[in-house]
């Protein structure tokens, strides 16, 4: 196994494929969340004249599958950065 950009057996190819799968999974889960009308964005007045705030309100819980699908690569990256030698 080599680290060549062109070598499909290089570890980075597997990591890139896994990242693409995560992106697809998250996209499908977010689409389901949007169809469920699980949130709304409300326009609200503020204390400052002429300014409004747009606030995000959850109407239903975020599915655990979405949270774990987002969290898995985040924790993997965090662990990798901790293990990585500093330069």
pLDDT digit string (tens) for the chain, length 87 residues = 456 777 777 777 888 888 888 889 999 999 998 899 999 999 999 999 999 999 999 999 988 988 888 887 667 666 666 665 654
pLDDT of residue 22: 85
Residue carrying structure tokens 């975020």:
62
The answer as to whether 52 is a domain residue is: yes
The answer as to whether 53 is a domain residue is: yes
The answer as to whether 71 is a domain residue is: yes
**How many independent structural domains does the chain possess?**
1
Measured at the CA of 16, the angle between CA 7 and CA 23, to 5 degrees, comes to 155
Which among 38, 79, 32 is positioned nearest to 58, based on CA atoms?
38
**Which residues lie below 8 Å from residue 42, measured CB to CB, with a gap of 6+?**
54, 55, 57
Q: Which two tokens stand for residue 45?
A: 């007045």
pTM of the model: 0.60
Contact, 13 vs 1, CB < 8 A? no
Q: For residue 47, give its domain range.
A: 38-82
pLDDT of residue 81: 60
The answer as to whether 21 is a domain residue is: no
Distance set, CA 47 to CA 22, 44, 83 (Å):
41, 10, 47
The answer as to whether 70 is a domain residue is: yes
């Amino acid at each position: 196994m080599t680290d060549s950009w062109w070598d499909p057996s290089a570890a980075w190819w597997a990591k890139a494929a896994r990242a693409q799968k995560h992106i697809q999974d998250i996209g499908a889960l977010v689409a389901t969340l949007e169809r469920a009308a699980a949130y709304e964005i409300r326009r609200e007045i503020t204390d400052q004249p002429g300014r409004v705030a747009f606030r995000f309100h959850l109407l239903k819980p975020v599915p655990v599958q979405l949270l774990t699908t987002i969290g898995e690569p985040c924790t993997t990256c965090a662990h990798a950065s901790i293990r990585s030698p500093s330069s």
